[in-house]
A and B are shown apart, each in its own frame.
Chain A
Amino acid sequence: MKKYMINMTVTESKSLHNSYCLLKLTSDKALPEIRPGQFVQVWVDHSPTTFLRRPISVHYVDKIKNELWLLIQKVGDGTRSMATYPPGDILNLLLPLGNGFTIPASADGKQKLLLVGGGVGVAPLLFLGACLKMEGFEPHFLLGARTKDELLQLEYFRQFGTIYTTTEDGSHGEKGFVTHHSILKNVRFDQIYTCGPKPMMRAVAGYAFSAAIPCEVSLENTMACGIGACLCCVEDTHEGNVCVCTEGPVFNIDKLKWQN
Chain B
Amino acid sequence: MAELKVNIRKLSLKNPVTTASGTFGYGTEYADFMNIERLGGIFVKGTTLEPREGNPYPRMAETTAGMLNAVGLQNKGVDYFIRSLYPGIKDLDTNVIVNVSGSTIESYVACAEMIATLDKIPAIELNISCPNVKKGGMSFGVTPEGAAEVVRAVRKVYPNVLIVKLSPNVTDITEIARAVEAEGADSVSLINTLLGMAIDVRKRKPVLSTITGGLSGPCVKPVALRMVWQTYQAVKIPIIGLGGIASWEDAVEFLLAGATAIQIGTANFIDPAISVKVIEGIEAYCDASGIKAVSELTGALDTSMLSSK
Residue numbers of A with Cβ under 8 A of B are 2-5, 43, 48-53, 94, 221-236, 240-241
Contact = CB atoms under 8 A, between A and B. Distances in A.
Contacts of B269: 52-53, 224-226, 229-230
B217 A51 contact: yes
A234 B59 contact: yes
B13 interface: no
B24 A229 contact: yes
B69 A51 contact: no
By CB atoms of chain B within 10 A, which of A48, A227, A236 has the most? Answer: A227
B53 A94 contact: no
26 contacts: A3-B32, A49-B64, A51-B64, A51-B66, A51-B67, A51-B217, A52-B67, A94-B33, A222-B62, A223-B60, A224-B60, A224-B62, A224-B269, A225-B268, A226-B269, A228-B29, A229-B23, A229-B24, A230-B71, A231-B22, A231-B59, A231-B71, A232-B71, A233-B60, A234-B59, A236-B56
B63 interface: yes
Interface string B28-39: 011011000000
Contacts of A227: 25, 29-30, 272
A45 B71 CA distance: 27
Nearest to A78: B62
Given A3-B32, A229-B30, A230-B71, A51 B57 contact: no
A222 B67 CA distance: 12
Given A51-B65, A51-B66, A232 B270 contact: no
Interface in B230-275: 266, 268-273
Q: Please classify the interface of chain B as helix (H, G, I), strand (E, B), loop, or mixed, using the class held by over half of its residues.
A: loop
A51 B270 contact: yes
B67 A224 contact: yes
Interface of B: 22-25, 29-30, 32-33, 45, 53-54, 56-60, 62-67, 69, 71, 74, 217, 266, 268-273
A255 to B, nearest CB: 15
A39 B96 CA distance: 30
Contacts of A53: 269-270
A43 B270 contact: yes
Contacts of B217: 51
Contact of B32 (A4, A229, A232, A241): A4
Given A224-B67, A226-B269, 11 more contacts: A3-B33, A52-B62, A53-B270, A224-B62, A224-B269, A227-B25, A229-B24, A231-B74, A232-B60, A232-B71, A236-B57
